Chains A and B, each alone.
Chain A
Amino acid sequence: MREEKQLTEKESLALITSMISKAKNSSIDSGIGPLFWGVLITICSLVTFAETKFNVTLGFDIWLISMIAVLPQIFFTWRAKKEKVFIPHDETMMNYVWGTFAICVFMLSFYTSQTHTSNGIALYMMVFGIPTFITGGIRNFKPMILGGLICWICSITSYYVSFPNGMLLMALSAVAAWLLPGIILRRRYLKMKNV
């Protein structure tokens, strides 16, 4: 691009649109985070369901994996930050939204382990829906808006189903909120990268 070229008004407007569009396209999420957590929570929920339903045991609490999984998440975040060549406007806001979510899940784990409440699953799904719905709204990404709504519907429904079946609702929430949006984001990201 040469600096000297004087533009017509139409060319100026076209250039502005094109550059803003380029910036937007490079802001597309890689989808790794939602994919990773979507797969993990779905597997943990289904394994818990199978353990109770078929009276089998793995010999350890499958949900411990989700605690350990925080480590690769920290690694992904660190690597993404290192490779980042620009910062989107909404990054700080997103960090606060998902940071709040992580703290709430941790507090909820503590609360449910202390009180042994039977409504724990419903509370988890309610919390899952909050950052998902906000992210979908802010980024105008409908699959996440829908995912957040599905989490809340599953949360209410889980009050009316017995424990192991509630885990199927938890799996459905994880698929709707993170796994499917993650797949869509990943495909978009790879398509954009190959253009």
Chain B
Amino acid sequence: MFKELDPILHSQLRLAVMSLLIAVKEAEFTYIREKTNATAGNLSVQVQKLKEVGYIDVAKQFKDNYPQTTCRITPKGIEAFEAYVQALQAYLGTSGKG
């Protein structure tokens, strides 16, 4: 029996954001936008969803008089990401054998 893929992570932009954040300690919103090629509005909505489920922390502050949003993955987010990758590997491993 396969584990169901986490619906929060099984979406293109949210998965891209989580994959980026797993590889760094923390990242600014502008960096994530540049690497994902997403629009600010769309990215903002997805970041908010990830924050609501506790997968990422979002900190807002001012840097040189400009607002700055910084994101960082939480332990819960790391756990969910690892479970998601394991589930993916299980799917692919079985489909590869078949």
Specify which of B10, B23, B85 lies most central, judged by the most chain A CB atoms within 10 Å of its CB. B23
CB proximity to B under 8 Å, residues A54-83 = 82
Q: Contact check: which of A6, A18, A91 meets B11 at CB < 8 Å?
A: A6
Interface pair A85/B15, CB less than 8 Å apart? no
Known contacts A1-B38, A7-B12, A26-B35: A86-B19 contact under CB 8 Å: no
Q: Chain B 1-36 against A: per-residue CB contact (8 Å), 1 yes, 0 no?
A: 000010000111111100110111111101100011
Number of A-B contacts (CB under 8 A): 96
Q: Which residues of A contact B (CB under 8 A)?
A: 1-7, 9-10, 12-13, 15-16, 18-20, 22-24, 26-27, 82, 85-89, 91-92
Chain B interface residue number, banded = 20 to 34
Q: Contact check: which of B24, B36, B45 meets A89 at CB < 8 Å?
A: B24
Q: Contact check: which of A2, A9, A26 meets B12 at CB < 8 Å?
A: A2
Contacts of B23 in A (CB 8 A): 19-20, 23-24, 89
A91 to B23: give the CA distance in the assembly, Å: 13
